[in-house]
Amino acid sequence: MRIKTNDLVEVIAGNDRGRRGRVLRVDRQNGRVVVEGIHTVWKHVRPSQKNRQGGRLSREMPIDISNVLLVCPACSRATRAGARFAADGSKERYCKKCGASMGVISPPKARRATPKA
Q: Would you list the domain boundaries of the chain? A: 1-45+55-71, 77-117
CATH number of this structure's domain 1-45+55-71 = 2.30.30.30
* pLDDT: which is higher, 117 or 13: 13
pLDDT > 90? residue 51: no
Question: Is the model's pLDDT at 44 over the cut of 70?
Answer: yes
Sign of the dihedral defined by the CA atoms of residues 99, 100, 106, 109, in that order: positive
DSSP secondary structure letters along 21-61: EEEEEEETTTTEEEETTSSEEEEEE---SS-SS-EEEEEE-
The 3-class secondary structure across 66-114, one letter per residue, is: HHEEEECCCCCCEECEEEEECCCCCEEEEECCCCCEEEEEECCCHHHCC
Q: For residue 91, report the phi and psi dihedrals to the nearest 5 degrees.
A: -95, 135
Q: Is the pLDDT of residue 116 over 70?
A: no
Instruction: Tell whether the model's pLDDT for residue 71 goes beyond 70.
Output: yes
Q: Does residue 1 register a pLDDT over 80?
A: no
Mean of the per-residue pLDDT values of the chain: 92
pTM, rounded to two decimals: 0.82
User: What pLDDT sits at residue 9?
Assistant: 97
